[in-house]
Amino acid sequence: MADGHNPPLTLGIAGFGTVGSGLLRILRENRAEITARTGREVRVKSVLVRDLSKARACPPPDGARLTDNPDDLLKDPETDVFVELIGGIETAGELVGKALRAGKHVVTANKALLAERGNEIFALAAEKKLHLGYEASVCGGIPIIRTLREALAGDRLDSIVGILNGTSNFILSEMSDKGMDFAAALKEAQTRGYAEADPVLDIDGRDAAQKLYLLIRLAWGAEYPYAAIPVSGITGVSPADIRYAREFGCRVKLICYARLHGDDPRSGGIEAGVCPALVNERFLLARVEGAYNAVRVEGNAAGSVFLHGKGAGDLPTGSSVAADILDIAKNVPPCNTGFAGPHPTAPARVIGPRESFSPHYLRLNVADRPGVLRDVAAVLADHAISLAQVIQKDDAAETAPPPAGKAGPYTASLILMTHKASDDAVHKAVTALAALPFVRESPVRFRVLTGKSGELPRLRAGS
Ligand SMILES: NC(=O)c1ccc[n+]([C@@H]2O[C@H](COP(=O)([O-])OP(=O)(O)OC[C@H]3O[C@@H](n4cnc5c(N)ncnc54)[C@H](OP(=O)(O)O)[C@@H]3O)[C@@H](O)[C@H]2O)c1
């Protein structure tokens, strides 16, 4: 109910799928709380879909019109907010642009759109002095956008490290806990509805990179080109790596990281990436299980802040969309980027692979013969990489004949833990190692996430 003074806030919702249905349920079930918080009614006037004949998870709200004509939302003078929950880039981008040009606030859950067309959409929203809400676009129900934009606005942020893709985290958790291989764990994720029929964006790390890109803009107000983020996904993670990681007291996680170098993203730079990494079991991030997401933000005043929650799903994602709608209903002035002035600000200096340092885990499948370790160590030394630990496992028995140009038999796995080395040096060393006659497969290479002390994981007794 309106309080008699404030007119209702009128929504046009584009999309009645997973998130659209969740939002409609929240608006219906939490109606009294929402009105109490905003002092006005939030009402849905129209819901846009592609197929009017499709069965829906819930009925459209009382008095709302189901339509397949975007103009019913965009050209309706009563509609204050265009809520974009259809996904994809072309149509969604066109509708969001039209909505802003028509003077409507926009709320979206679409990270792909903002990663691809964010610059023009943020600029248009700023020019029109309208809200562009996107809390739901990163980590579903976790309020990470608000945390960076508002709660930690007084801090200079040093780093963001997180698990931003629930599908890949679910797959890695299944591989860890149940000993499944990648294909079986992916199938399980699809059966449980955690993975799309086409899961490629999730497992190749690009979905996580899109979210990281948005978080970097929010944290530092600088443009770090999406295409510059080095991304590797989880398809190369094997049960053997999960097992060996455990021997080092670690879990394998798809980690997103962004770190400020120096005091300023323009002069110092930002180091960022998405990759599988060994995470010490003592760290909270290692304990993020199943389809959950988590983000750890390090501020120079607040210290370490850790957020954990559901990264997807109808109600968690709908909750974030609803929070953005409530800001508009409360007449909070727009602060879409968290920074004053034009957006994006100057480009960040991109910290490249030569300046990006981490310890690394390497796994090589090698012929078990004298001199192998000596030659491997020599290649690493040539690239100024220092070894912290080496273990040999005689569990890579190979009965098939070796490929042309390669020595056999292949009976050993060499597991190497390096001290900090640049990504560039490790990449070059791995390329050189792959070319050695006794190294059969492309070596596996993961970063190792360390804490502030930089202490390396140690082999457990009895491993
Ligand atoms: N699902 C999640 O957990 C989640 C989490 C975070 C963010 N998101 C983001 O939220 C957005 C929506 O995701 P979702 O999972 O809710 O998608 P979804 O279940 O596939 O629903 C999409 C909805 O949009 C409608 N639609 C699609 N194309 C349209 C078009 N050209 N014109 C009119 N309507 C159209 C569809 O209509 P029909 O029903 O008639 O086909 C459907 O109702 C995406 O950007 C996604 O990345 C989703």
Which of 431 and 410 is assigned the larger pLDDT? 431
In a domain, 247, yes or no: yes
Residues 116, 162, single domain; the answer is no
CB 176 within 8 A of CB 242: yes
Residues 127, 172, single domain; the answer is no
CB 148 within 8 A of CB 128: no
In a domain, 318, yes or no: no
Whether the upstream peptide bond of residue 344 has omega within 30° of 0, thus cis, is yes
Catalytic annotation, residues: 211
Q: Dump pLDDT digits (tens) for 201-218.
A: 999 999 999 999 999 999
In a domain, 339, yes or no: no
In the reported structure, the alpha carbon of residue 88 is separated from the centroid of ligand 1 by a whole-number distance in angstroms of 8
> What is the structure's pLDDT at 156?
96
Q: How far apart are CA 288 and CA 202, in angstroms?
A: 17
pLDDT at 50 over 90: yes
Residues 42, 89, single domain; the answer is yes
Residues 89, 160, single domain; the answer is no
Average pLDDT over residues 276-298: 96
Atom of ligand 1 lying closest to residue 314 CA: 3
Q: What average pLDDT does the structure give for the chain?
A: 93
Q: 409: pLDDT confidence band, cut at 50, 70 and 90? A: low
pLDDT at 133 over 50: yes
Residues 168, 299, single domain; the answer is yes
In the reported structure, the alpha carbon of residue 146 is separated from the centroid of ligand 1 by a whole-number distance in angstroms of 23
Domain boundary residue, one of 110, 137, 164: 137
pLDDT at 398 over 80: no
Domain boundary residue, one of 295, 310, 325: 310
Which of 331 and 397 is assigned the larger pLDDT? 331
H-type helices in 369-442, by residue range? 372-382, 423-434
In a domain, 306, yes or no: yes
- What phi-psi label fits residue 262: left (phi over 0), alpha (psi between -120 and 50 degrees) or beta? left
CATH code, domain with 293: 3.30.360.10
> What is the structure's pLDDT at 454?
83
Q: How far apart are CA 362 and CA 377, in angstroms?
A: 12
In a domain, 349, yes or no: no
User: Long-range contacts of range 200-203, CB-CB < 8 Å, 24 or more positions apart?
Assistant: 201/112, 202/165, 202/167, 202/168, 203/167, 203/168, 203/171, 203/233, 203/234, 203/235
Q: Dump pLDDT digits (tens) for 338-357.
A: 998 656 567 899 999 999 99
pLDDT at 132 over 90: yes
- Residue to substitute in 48, 53, 86 for testing ligand 1 pocket (most ligand atoms within 8 angstroms of CB): 86
> What is the structure's pLDDT at 400?
60
Residues 289, 240, single domain; the answer is yes
Number of domains composing the chain: 3
Contacts of 112 (CB under 8 A, 6+ apart): 87, 88, 89, 201, 207, 210
In a domain, 148, yes or no: no
In the reported structure, the alpha carbon of residue 21 is separated from the centroid of ligand 1 by a whole-number distance in angstroms of 10
> What is the structure's pLDDT at 9?
98
> What is the structure's pLDDT at 440?
84
Q: Dump pLDDT digits (tens) for 70-99.
A: 999 999 999 999 999 999 999 999 999 999
Alpha carbon 357 to its chain's center: 21
Q: 57: pLDDT confidence band, cut at 50, 70 and 90? A: confident
Domain boundary residue, one of 310, 332, 365: 310
CATH code, domain with 425: 3.30.70.260
Residues 159, 133, single domain; the answer is no
Residues 127, 181, single domain; the answer is no
> Among the listed ranges 114-118, 289-293, 429-433, 450-454, which one has the minimum average pLDDT value?
450-454
Residues 16, 130, single domain; the answer is yes
Residues 133, 49, single domain; the answer is yes
> What is the structure's pLDDT at 92?
98
In a domain, 131, yes or no: yes
CATH code, domain with 42: 3.40.50.720
> What is the structure's pLDDT at 198?
80
In a domain, 455, yes or no: no
Residues 96, 190, single domain; the answer is no
> What is the structure's pLDDT at 343?
61
Q: 1: pLDDT confidence band, cut at 50, 70 and 90? A: very low
Average pLDDT over residues 190-194: 87
Q: How far apart are CA 63 and CA 9, in angstroms?
A: 15
> What is the structure's pLDDT at 407?
65
| Structure tokens belonging to residue 79 | 């509609």
If you take atom 29 of ligand 1, which residue's CA is the nearest one? Answer: 50
User: Percentage of residues in the chain with pLDDT exceeding 70?
Assistant: 94
Range of the domain at 269: 154-310
Average pLDDT over residues 246-275: 96
Residues 132, 158, single domain; the answer is no
